[in-house]
Chains A and B, each alone.
Chain A
Amino acid sequence: MNIKDELKKHLIADLHLEDIRPEDIADAAPLFGEEAEGLGLDSLDAVELVVLLQKRFNVTVKSMEEARDAFTTLDALAAFVQSRQSGA
């Protein structure tokens, strides 16, 4: 399973996203904000996301700036996880 698919699976399970299937999550759609435009996560979900990254991928978020960049879309999140895992 690639990182994006893994992320989708864990997002749905850990953030308790009801009635959403992995294929419903568009790679380039915004994770936060209005549901019509993307996944519709709220600020508290950002906490869950940090915990998820640490627990499932052993990846830590080091700053607000990092979170701002990594949490925009699934593409950005996957790239962030990948870069951390490869030690970049």
Chain B
Amino acid sequence: MTGPQWSSRSLGSRFKHEFFYRLIRHVGAWAAYPLLYAVVLSYSLRPSVYRRSRPYLSRRFPGSSGVALWRKAFRLNLSFGLVLLERAVMGITGRMEFAHPENGGEAVKKILAEGRGLVALTAHVGAWQTGLGWLAGVERPVNIAQRRQDEDNDRHYFEHRPGAEAPKIINLSEAAPALAAMAAALLAGEVVAMMGDRIWQREALTLKASLMGGPIMLPGAPFYLAAKTGAPLAVVFTRRAGPSRVEGRVWKIIRPPQDGSAAPESLAPLAEAFAACLEEYAAAEPYQFFNFYDMWNLGENHEH
């Protein structure tokens, strides 16, 4: 299938990333902040970078255009830069304050006590990678399903510190073994964290949902896994609440169909519920919604 074209390839070169890492390690995080502002400004002046955020911003702020919209794009890019910077700071120095105002950890523990595992469904919002660190406190093994490209230059917080308690990574580049490993983990009562807001070009199942007044396609695998294993889905979002401060929240619990049906029509309401969560998040945190591509450009042959 084809779908929206996005890339996880980092904008910054490997050299720039490494420069930031060394600055944090040898000088201190404080030194990286002014440099980040300058880098974000230079990126934001590039039309190609502006074009990436425009589809989202023009839907989120329908009345804005011209300079006002560019300012919003700069703010969004800066917010993204801060999240990446502080993820590196956490990995290198261990400095990060987590807060869970609605006690999301307890909600997750309660569900895990049911013994059916949990799909922790998140999205490219807030401090999503750093924020998943709090799942380590749920006292069950945590698996993170992710797809990485060779061009990815930024690292996860746990990759900065070899030996640190790290979740198991399930590499999505091999779809069938990866989905098998995720199903097995859920059947063993473990947590499988995955992104639910972007589809890949070879997604076996996609589901249409509505976001900010237009249709988008979401990957069907999280909902399929939940339906087949009986594991509930916890929509887990994080937000950057200040310098090196992340708040996590279990946004919603979505239960799979009780009859175990994984037919697209049975899974569609689950995808709609997740899209509604995304919309609520974008309304609450407009500058922490990090999908820098046109989610609403569905391409051809997008639906299965």
Q: What residues make up the interface of A, taking CB atoms closer than 8 Å to B? A: 32, 41-51, 54, 60-65, 67-68, 71
Contact = CB atoms under 8 A, between A and B. Distances in A.
A45 B262 CA distance: 11
B221 A64 contact: no
Contacts of A64: 170-171, 174, 177-178, 180-181
Interface in B145-180: 170-171, 174-180
B212 interface: no
A46 B177 contact: yes
Contacts of B205: 44
A46 B180 contact: yes
B228 A47 contact: yes
Interface stretch (B34-42, B183-191, B283-291): B183-191
B228 A46 contact: no
A50 B187 contact: yes
Given A61-B183, A64-B178, 8 more contacts: A32-B176, A43-B221, A44-B204, A46-B180, A47-B182, A50-B183, A61-B184, A63-B184
Q: Main secondary structure on chain A at its contact with chain B? A: helix
A47 to B, nearest CB: 4
Interface size class of B (residues with CB under 8 A): 20 to 34
Contacts of A45: 176
B187 A67 contact: no
B229 interface: yes
Contacts of B74: none
Contacts of B180: 46-47, 49-50, 61, 64, 67, 71
B257 to A, nearest CB: 15
Contacts of B175: 43, 46
Interface of B: 170-171, 174-184, 187-188, 204-205, 220-221, 224-225, 228-229, 262
Contacts of B228: 47-48, 51
12 contacts: A32-B176, A47-B182, A50-B184, A51-B183, A51-B228, A51-B229, A54-B187, A60-B188, A62-B184, A64-B177, A67-B181, A71-B176
Contacts of A60: 184, 187-188
A63 B181 contact: yes
Nearest to A43: B175
A51 B187 contact: yes
A46 B177 CA distance: 7
Contacts of A32: 176
A50 B225 CA distance: 11
A47 B183 contact: yes
Contacts of A65: 177
A45 B183 CA distance: 11
Contacts of B174: 64, 68
A68 B205 CA distance: 21
B192 to A, nearest CB: 11
A46 B183 contact: yes
A61 B170 CA distance: 14
B184 A71 contact: no
